[in-house]
Structure 1
């Protein structure tokens, strides 16, 4: 070998060593940065943790390590320590893990609130497995005991429970992994004949059942508050408005019962969606059912969501229950928003018809006199958020083939967000109603403006054999006459004025008599309403009695 060859090889070796050193330095810097920013995955942290054992997962936070807990460490249910329970078909070649992918696909950050429903469903499923001989009675007892312990731990520790692990993706796998850690192979048998597809479909329906029951209690509290307010202030006579222009006189109670009627329909929608969606998807499997001798009637009998779904594909694909719930929540929010809007107007200085407790108003950072109805404004504003949840869910579902698709994971974000917002708005509305008081003096001061009794005058003319369309013309002419004379009320006119207007439109000159004045004036008008469901004194009184009877049950 000559001198030149030796020198060239020496330079090449030196270059390789320098390149390798730079690579090592870069790798060390990258690992250091990942430790600092907290974005390294659980897999990476486990691999770097010298105290970790194969098959064990440590509860990690994205920002800092959680404190040690007495809860048994959670293990994966895979055959090997590194494999996820649902990924045994992967070859493992190349990069098998991406921290962003793990964060992107997880739902554990929001579906943990279904843990009770998940455990209830698992107990029912395990009971069925024992009944058909797929697990032993001893294994069933172990599973039940383990699930009971897990529920107690989560009840106590909530989101700090060490079993919540982002690598396991969702509530189902976290609970299952914790169960296996407690009871071993008996826990590994729990998922026999079951997929997360039918499991989550069941959990959703169970959660919706519980949510519907909670809403029912909130409705009842709001019904009581509105009924109480109607009983106290209901006989106050006030203007009603169409197009935000004065229309006819009504009783305050008539309007309050109108809100009760609208909210009653909202509650009926919740009841209806529970009835329509009374089908149990558990046992549908991933899509095609199971070749094992599952008895779906057993699990259906143990759970409050009806008989088995009649088709396994639809059982796992359908999100109708969630969509129906979010639509119903949107309708509740819309009704509360309209009530809030009306009361915001009534609370303005221009109206002054209503006051609410100062706890539910806020001041101004600049204007000392302000009492802003911020709580009502937020009830009105948050309706848009709930509408957004509904549109997002409808859009999410429309593009999915009839089977489970991962898109459906997003349903829970919108369902939970809509429920939480509407639940808070219902509670806030109830508290506001409990402090509300209609201002009778202020209402009376402004009651005789706007010719609220004009329609009643037309009704009187009808009783005098004047065709309604003609009566409508006569009253219109009389309103113009009042305005020309700067009179505030129709009752300020003389009897001859009424008859002159009738004669001018081809009616008898003596059409009207002194009885006409008993038809005029807001207080007289609300006493004369006779039709069923009217917003006057008779209608409001009957409706209020029905509501008082209802809420006593």
Structure 2
């Protein structure tokens, strides 16, 4: 231990002042003072003068008691140099340069992993005690301390982002040592930040994947509700953005339900592959301690363990898969957003969005702009970018861990935030859509959307389909020339093209009849739509537990 003779009188006076202030400060104040003490080369181990029964004692006495440990030699410090708490600082003579520290620090964004980090540390501490690597009393102290830190963070009593630590893992360990003393320094036994971070990240994505899946199912449920209301609403279906055949609005909505259900399946599938625990892999080669990896995996709710220590700490396939699944979800939301934008335009007029989910113009008083869905569409590129960024990070990395992998967090975190925001805003937007059945039916009756049914009519009369296709094409040209729809053309003109046409053709090509005949599984007929709705409702009920 280095004594007071290694410090200037100014430093000693400042330390005394800080210790006195710390003894009277709350948790947040203590945190700031601890940071200042680190600047002077001190690290406080469970310093609580009120509880220990003494005031600000002589500095040498505090050092002798082990209340304060010195992490740097002031005689060797450069002017202005800071030596904040590091998990790895032992072999370094100098602290990290300010510019480098800011560049390397991940605390501003990996702070959100605090729950997973504490959860993983509790399981690790429990295993260390169970295996006799640390004593049961030490394990209990670690667990209690970690549980207290969780409460402190969640209550706002301490703010990790103000600590000056390089990441959330350093902060939690530092705080733990402050709370439980020397035992806190044993938590990292048989563990590296490499397997620790990989475990935290998997736990985080497992949880976020479930939450995203739950949100998608809520959106599916909303779409189903609107589909049930609009089973009889006929609208044009499109190919090449040209009117093609009549369908129902409900059928169109259910198409997005199918996409979103596949997205749920992809998230579940992704979760199965990430459900392996890396803890015990150490930095890359495991540990010489007799750890019980299966026990830790069970404690954390993993289905198994990563079976190669090199791969365990360097694998980010699960993050790429997750980002791909999110990217595809955004594709589906973006396609839906595009259609809502089109349908709400004056050129279509099929729907109107609620005022609460639209905005106006700063210069044009009449405007009602679909800004919410436009932004959903726009944010899709942002998520795509994160996927490509992580793929690019990984493409040239040798085994095992490299600092490049720090770039995975912001990409994933922003994707999670973006996607959740998009789904959450789409749910009430869909709920409040005003549907305009008359305008939809009017559009469905135009541009010869019943021409395929007219060709099918001829097939039913014995005309080969390819020949029927050609005949109807000629009839359409005649209608265009005369400015009529197929329903308006008289029977005698039909017979000029084929004697197979009879008076029952008009009933056959009625728009409602065209839709009603398509009663096949997955078809647009109201009868088929109702069956599809019931199928989705059963699926939602059966899969509720997947999101828990």
Q: Establish whether TM, by shorter chain, passes 0.5.
A: yes
Distance in 2 (alpha carbons) for counterparts of 1:115 and 1:426: 25
Q: Is the 8 A contact 2:34 2:44 kept in 1?
A: no
After superposition, the C-alpha distances for 1:510-536 in whole angstroms (9 at most, x for unaligned) are 322222222202111001113321123
Match of 1:87 in 2: 88
Q: Is the 8 A contact 2:153 2:159 kept in 1?
A: no
Aligned in 2, Cα 1:461/1:149: closer, same or farther, shift over 3 Å? same
CA shift at 1:408, angstroms? 0.3
SS in 2 for 1:239: strand
Q: Is the 8 A contact 2:32 2:163 kept in 1?
A: no
The alignment status of 1:515 with 2:504, answered yes or no, reads: yes
Q: In the TM superposition, what are the counterparts of 1:428-443 in structure 2 within 5 Å? A: 428-443=425-440
Match of 1:51 in 2: 14
Q: In the TM superposition, what are the counterparts of 1:367-516 in structure 2 within 5 Å? A: 367-487=364-484, 489-502=485-498, 510-516=499-505
Q: 1:366 aligns with which of 363, 367, 384?
A: 363
CA shift at 1:134, angstroms? 0.3
Distance in 2 (alpha carbons) for counterparts of 1:431 and 1:192: 50
CA shift at 1:154, angstroms? 0.5
Q: 1:310 aligns with which of 303, 307, 310?
A: 307
Aligned in 2, Cα 1:49/1:167: closer, same or farther, shift over 3 Å? farther
The alignment status of 1:228 with 2:204, answered yes or no, reads: no
Aligned in 2, Cα 1:150/1:473: closer, same or farther, shift over 3 Å? same
Distance in 2 (alpha carbons) for counterparts of 1:48 and 1:322: 47
Match of 1:15 in 2: none
Aligned in 2, Cα 1:168/1:289: closer, same or farther, shift over 3 Å? same
The alignment status of 1:532 with 2:529, answered yes or no, reads: no
SS in 1 for 2:247: strand
Q: Is the 8 A contact 2:18 2:33 kept in 1?
A: no
Distance in 2 (alpha carbons) for counterparts of 1:318 and 1:375: 37
Q: Is the 8 A contact 1:317 1:404 kept in 2?
A: yes
Q: In the TM superposition, what are the counterparts of 1:11-30 in structure 2 within 5 Å? A: none
Q: Is the 8 A contact 1:519 1:525 kept in 2?
A: yes
Match of 2:262 in 1: 265
Match of 2:143 in 1: 144
Q: 1:300 aligns with which of 282, 290, 297?
A: 297
Aligned in 2, Cα 1:440/1:323: closer, same or farther, shift over 3 Å? same
Unaligned runs of 5+ residues in structure 2 are 1-9, 36-42, 46-67, 73-82, 543-548
The alignment status of 1:277 with 2:274, answered yes or no, reads: yes
Match of 2:128 in 1: 129
Match of 1:68 in 2: 29
Q: Is the 8 A contact 2:86 2:166 kept in 1?
A: no
CA shift at 1:465, angstroms? 2.2
The alignment status of 1:217 with 2:214, answered yes or no, reads: yes
Aligned in 2, Cα 1:87/1:190: closer, same or farther, shift over 3 Å? closer
Match of 1:28 in 2: none
CA shift at 1:328, angstroms? 1.0
Q: 1:350 aligns with which of 347, 353, 374?
A: 347
Aligned in 2, Cα 1:48/1:438: closer, same or farther, shift over 3 Å? farther
* Number of aligned positions between the proteins: 488
Q: Out of 195-204 and 493-502, give the one that drifted further.
A: 493-502
Distance in 2 (alpha carbons) for counterparts of 1:53 and 1:411: 43
Aligned in 2, Cα 1:112/1:353: closer, same or farther, shift over 3 Å? same
Distance in 2 (alpha carbons) for counterparts of 1:227 and 1:247: 24
The alignment status of 1:545 with 2:534, answered yes or no, reads: yes
Distance in 2 (alpha carbons) for counterparts of 1:482 and 1:453: 13
Q: Is the 8 A contact 1:193 1:283 kept in 2?
A: yes
Distance in 2 (alpha carbons) for counterparts of 1:472 and 1:459: 9
SS in 2 for 1:246: strand
CA shift at 1:322, angstroms? 1.2
Q: Out of 515-524 and 365-374, give the one that drifted further.
A: 515-524
Distance in 2 (alpha carbons) for counterparts of 1:185 and 1:165: 24
Distance in 2 (alpha carbons) for counterparts of 1:326 and 1:197: 21
CA shift at 1:79, angstroms? 6.9
SS in 2 for 1:446: helix
Q: Out of 74-83 and 99-108, give the one that drifted further.
A: 74-83
Match of 2:5 in 1: none
TM-score by length of 1: 0.84
CA shift at 1:539, angstroms? 2.3
CA shift at 1:495, angstroms? 2.5
Match of 1:22 in 2: none
SS in 2 for 1:288: coil
Match of 2:201 in 1: 204
SS in 2 for 1:481: helix
CA shift at 1:88, angstroms? 4.2
TM-score by length of 2: 0.84
Distance in 1 (alpha carbons) for counterparts of 2:431 and 2:144: 46
SS in 2 for 1:229: helix
Distance in 1 (alpha carbons) for counterparts of 2:331 and 2:314: 29
Match of 2:6 in 1: none
Q: 2:185 aligns with which of 188, 207, 211?
A: 188
